[in-house]
Structure 1
Amino acid sequence: MDPTPRRVTVLIMSISHVWESMEHPNPHGFQLHEIVQKCPPVTSTCAVWIFYDFSSLYQYGGRTEPQERYFREALAHMHTLYAHEAIKVHIVEELTPETWKRPGTVNAFSEKAGRVIPMPIDQLTVNMTPYLLRGWCQAERQWSSLRMSLDNCVPMPPDLFRHKMEEQGLRFTHHDDKEVVMKLQAQVFAEKVLTTRQLMAERLDADALDVLCAALPFYADLDEVVVTGNLLPLNAAVAVAKTNARSYQMESCGLGDEDVEHIAAILLRCNKVEELRLARNNIGKRGLQALGDLRKAKPNLYIDVLADEANGSET
């Protein structure tokens, strides 16, 4: 082995997945296969550390008192492994296909034996509830969306998350952790949105834009908002403008004169705005007039907007 010191880049991955049985999350090995397919190659200068709850935490049954304490401490901080900007989250939504399943045994905790033993797969307590109906899975999904970059997934404010959880009837593998999940989701949401300075949203569909409108008022200290490339209805454009940020990038958002008039009226009252980028929208004379009035009121405000092709002017 070469003893020469070298720098190694470490990628940390957290896996969000279902438990396909009460005793074992992945009895057929399908999830492991999916994880391996998504992992970058490990080299002499690149390592991958993976958090997978079944292998990474002391599990149900037979935990000693210290192990139970460690487990509870880990549970209280579980969100860090999904919400931290430096950690990549891989979501395994697909359940094991029937064609993948084979008879066999796995090591799992047996209530009858009181310890971990080899158990036939066909004797496990099967749980094939889809990922989207799992309480902890949806909490992990929410935590993973609490990042600077939102890619078609926007974090829900706690009241909206509770409503969705109750509406969908989300389920839990071992017992009802609903209130634990709700408390953690609210805590993590508040911590993250209050410390987020840059927010970039990409590929948001209509449902995600509705959630964005509900979430934006909670981002109390944004410096930069980038929603370029999303087709923003008026209510979403207004919600973005009300964030009281320093810089707004709303290019290629399908904005018209009415949208721009509302944006300009809101930013007129914004005390720290310095930059507004509105290129490649559908802005005509009314919109340009509103922006002209805004710049007169705020002469230090930089506005970038390409008008319609007829006049080709730029503000």
Structure 2
Amino acid sequence: ASRPRRVVARAAQLRAVPADRRRALTLPRRQELEVLEPSAYYSAEEVKALPRGPRNAGFPMAVLAVSHSWESEEHPDPHGRTLLMLADAITTAQAIQVSKGPYTWQTLPSRVAVFFDFCSLFQPPRAKEEPPIGEGPTMALRAALTRMQVWYAHQLTTCFFVTDGNTETANDGSHTPYHERGWPTFEYHVSAIGKAITSSGWPQLVDVGLGVDTLFERGVPLTPAALEHLLESKRFTDGTEP
């Protein structure tokens, strides 16, 4: 899991350059980032040691799982739009309290581990000229993909959904919108099954496209059969995308 300040810092660099030069500053793959910036990652022991939320909220973990669509099979965010939305959302969630009626939620912790698939998991070659990633990383990736749902469905994680909202991403034709994608739809629905909605803690479900200051409203959980039927109408990639 990554440190949020790295996400925010990379977004600041991206924002400072013209749009046609942003490709070089987009988020790198796991195998590249851990070489370039090894301090960007928390160890498992460090994640376990992060302060937990309050008892009345069920002691939520300071772990943030990001659900987002991929704009291309080679890179999920080649123009940095998802990165900018995510960085703004994290910064805002750590600074403002969300209120509804007489209830006010806490802010997102300043120290939180961020799971973003492209940076958190080893990525397989996505072009013919790329070398294989090796047996160890390949086994780690396969093991991670079989348990991906835990990041989102776990009762104590926090999930940010980088939906398209009103941004240009939804309208420029560059990719299929979030709610039309298979994996994002799956993550969106399983995330809402068991998380607490008590104002004793911070909001554990955030639709970034609608705004961090908008309290997430979840519907009745779908049955497995209903979710399977819904997913049949969504677009999946070739299976290499987490």
TM-score (norm 1): 0.41
Q: Secondary structure at the match of 1:90?
A: strand
Q: In 2, distance between residues paired with 1:57 and 1:36?
A: 19
Q: In 2, distance between residues paired with 1:36 and 1:164?
A: 30
Query: 1:20, 1:27 within 8 Å by CA — same for their partners in 2?
Result: yes
The AA in structure 1 aligned to 2:223 is P
Q: In 2, distance between residues paired with 1:176 and 1:8?
A: 31
The AA in structure 2 aligned to 1:48 is V
Q: 1:298 maps to what in 2?
A: none
Deviation track 1:136-185 (CA, whole Å, cap 9, x = no partner) reads 1111112201114473233211111122222xx211123499xxx9xxxx
Q: Secondary structure at the match of 2:111?
A: strand
Q: In 2, distance between residues paired with 1:131 and 1:154?
A: 20
Q: In 2, distance between residues paired with 1:51 and 1:92?
A: 13
Partner residue of 2:191 out of 137, 141, 144? 144
Structure number with larger C-alpha Rg: 1
Higher relative contact order (CA 8 A, sep 6+): 2
Unaligned runs of 5+ in 2: 1-48, 53-61, 96-108, 126-131, 198-216
Partner residue of 1:74 out of 144, 150, 158? 144
Q: 1:155 maps to what in 2?
A: 221
Deviation track 1:170-219 (CA, whole Å, cap 9, x = no partner) reads 11123499xxx9xxxxxxxxxxxxxxxxxxxxxxxxxxxxxxxxxxxxxx
TM-score (norm 2): 0.52
Deviation track 1:22-79 (CA, whole Å, cap 9, x = no partner) reads 100111111111111221449xx83121100000001121221221111111111111
Aligned Cα root-mean-square deviation (Å): 3.2
Could you tell me how far 1:85 is from its partner in structure 2? 1.9
Partner residue of 2:168 out of 97, 103, 121? 97
Could you tell me how far 1:12 is from its partner in structure 2? 1.2
Q: 1:312 maps to what in 2?
A: none
Query: 2:154, 2:195 within 8 Å by CA — same for their partners in 1?
Result: no
Query: 1:15, 1:91 within 8 Å by CA — same for their partners in 2?
Result: yes
Q: Which has the higher strand share?
A: 1
The percentage of aligned residue pairs carrying the same residue is 32
Q: In 1, distance between residues paired with 2:174 and 2:136?
A: 29
Query: 2:155, 2:196 within 8 Å by CA — same for their partners in 1?
Result: no
1:50 aligns with 2:114: yes
Query: 2:156, 2:195 within 8 Å by CA — same for their partners in 1?
Result: no
Q: In 1, distance between residues paired with 2:133 and 2:120?
A: 14
Query: 1:14, 1:82 within 8 Å by CA — same for their partners in 2?
Result: yes
The change in CA–CA distance for 1:153 and 1:59 in structure 2 (over 3 A counts) is farther
Q: Secondary structure at the match of 2:113?
A: strand
Deviation track 1:236-277 (CA, whole Å, cap 9, x = no partner) reads xxxxxxxxxxxxxxxxxxxxxxxxxxxxxxxxxxxxxxxxxx
The change in CA–CA distance for 1:176 and 1:159 in structure 2 (over 3 A counts) is farther
Moved more, 32-41 or 10-19: 32-41
The number of residues matched between the two structures is 144
Q: Secondary structure at the match of 1:70?
A: helix
The AA in structure 1 aligned to 2:110 is C
Q: Secondary structure at the match of 1:137?
A: helix
Q: Secondary structure at the match of 2:72?
A: coil
Query: 2:72, 2:175 within 8 Å by CA — same for their partners in 1?
Result: yes
Q: Secondary structure at the match of 1:32?
A: helix
Query: 1:18, 1:25 within 8 Å by CA — same for their partners in 2?
Result: yes
Q: 2:82 maps to what in 1?
A: 31
Q: 1:87 maps to what in 2?
A: 157
Query: 1:14, 1:90 within 8 Å by CA — same for their partners in 2?
Result: yes
Partner residue of 1:21 out of 72, 75, 84? 72
Deviation track 1:265-298 (CA, whole Å, cap 9, x = no partner) reads xxxxxxxxxxxxxxxxxxxxxxxxxxxxxxxxxx
Q: Secondary structure at the match of 1:47?
A: coil
